[in-house]
Each structure stands twice: as structure tokens, then as C-alpha cells.
Amino acid sequence: MGLMEGKKALVLGIANERSLAYVIAQRLLAEGAQLAITYQGEALEPRVRKLAEGLQTEIVLECDVCQDSHIDRLFETVAKDMGGLDVLVHAVAYADRAALAGRYCDVTRAAFLQALEIGAFSLTALARSAAPLMEESGGSMLTLSYYGAEKVVPNYNVMGVTKAALEASVRYLATDLGPSGIRVNAISAGPVKTLSAKGIRDFNSILTRISDKAPMRRNITAEEVGNSALFLLSDLSSGITGEVMHVDVGYNTIGV
């Protein structure tokens, strides 16, 4: 019997087969979970529906996290088609590329608010709607962060501020939902070549620095993030909530 046998999981943020959300979904499936996945907008729908075949699910739902009506419809459908929810994976973020370059202080109000709404507030909105489906038997929620939430990372700018807000949200949500047996955690993953990573200028230089300086002298793999996510979402981590787990081959431990 797999670690996630009988568990019902909703995964948001799959864009392609290299997405960390997709790798996490694969690990959940391999351990017996029933999946539902989402897409954002018509442009991504065909690609995500194709990926759904490999994830053995027909529950593929549209969700623009900036639209309350989309979130309401998403969880109404999940409740109807799955009969409840045990796992929520939030891998959603976006910032205008112009807001990632240059000086952080030059970010526009519109770009700042957009990044915060999509990358941080969306977890709160989704958790609020998911919680009633988890309260009977408890559940686990997971989001994805990055070291730029803690330290200044060149060309990360407004996304670093967004991830800081996201990590704070994890702690507040864990406190709110803990009495219902619902756990909320985050993974602060080292850089991986994903679609979103392409928006960060000089991304390859970040990879090179980590492989040169991190204790393990290499970069992480998407599979390592998937394995860590499986741990945090499974009952193996039943005593862990409100945490940000670094999966970055130790880079966050290095000073000068």
C-alpha cells in the first residue's frame, strides 16, 4: 500500500512536464493518490489536459486564482467529483518580467499588487475554501517558496517580497487550521530549470554559483523536490506544520 493510498489531492500550478507541480503530482500518484489538477486560461488547457492522461485523472478544472468565482466553482466540483479533499498543492506564482529586473524600488504599484495577489494571497483564498473539505479527517497543504524570501537575490525583486508574504501566510494558516487537524507547510526549493525560472535574468549564473558553493556542490533536481513534497503531504510528517523546509543542497546554510 502506498503512502497516499486513498488520499484525494488537488494540484494547482502545472504548466508543463518540467513544472515542480507536475513532478509532485507524479509522486502523489505513484503512492496511490487520486488527483485533480487545474489550468489557468485557454492557452494552457490543451497542454495540461494532455499531461492529465499521464496522471491518470479526468478531473481537469480551470482556475484563475484572481477570480473568486473560479475558486468557488473549483471546490464545488472537487467536493462533487471527489467527495472530499486530503491534499492541496499550491504552486502558483507570477510577476511581470519588468518587475524582476533593475531596482526593486522601481516596481510599479500594479506589478506589486499583481505579484502579491497571485503568488501569496491565492494560497490564503484556496486554503479557506479547501479547509471545509478537509475538516472531517484532517489534511495537508503545501506551497513552494524560494530563498529569495529570506535574502536578496539579484533579479528576483518583487517575487522575493511575494515569497516572504507567502511564507508568513503558511505560519498564520497553520495556526488557524491546526485545530481542525489541517497542516500547512512550504518547501523552499533551490533553483530548478522550469518555465517560471526562465523569467529570471542570469538564471544560469545562479545555478553555477550554487553548484560551486553549496555544501553538496551541485544543484537540486525536480525529483528531490517531489520526494520532499511527498513527505510533507503524507502522514510521515504528521507532527510538522507551519514550517518552511529548505530543499537546496544546503545552500541556505552558507554565509560568506
Hey, where are the domains in the chain?
Answer: 8-248
In the CATH hierarchy, which fold is given to the domain comprising 8-248?
Rossmann fold (3.40.50)
Active-site pick, 39, 147, 156, 251: 156
Q: What is the pLDDT of residue 104?
A: 97
pLDDT 10s digits, 130-180? 999 998 889 999 999 999 999 999 899 999 999 999 999 999 999 999 999
Closest CA to 210 of 165, 153, 160: 153
Predicted local confidence at residue 201, as pLDDT: 63
Which pLDDT score, from 0 to 100, does residue 198 have? 56
Q: Is the pLDDT of residue 5 over 70?
A: yes
Q: Is 90 exceeded by the pLDDT of residue 194?
A: no
251 is catalytic: no
Active site residue 156: yes
Structure pTM?
A: 0.94
At residue 197, does pLDDT exceed 70? no
pLDDT of 108:
97
Tell me the pLDDT of the chain averaged across its residues: 94
Examine the pLDDT at 256 and tell me if it is beyond 90. Answer: no
pLDDT-above-70 percentage for the chain: 96
Higher pLDDT, 26 or 41: 26
At 255 the pLDDT is: 84
Catalytic residue among 22, 39, 146, 251: 146
**Residue 196: predicted pLDDT:** 62
Q: Other C-beta atoms within 10 Å of 30: how many?
A: 13
Q: pLDDT confidence of 253, banded at 50, 70, 90? A: very high
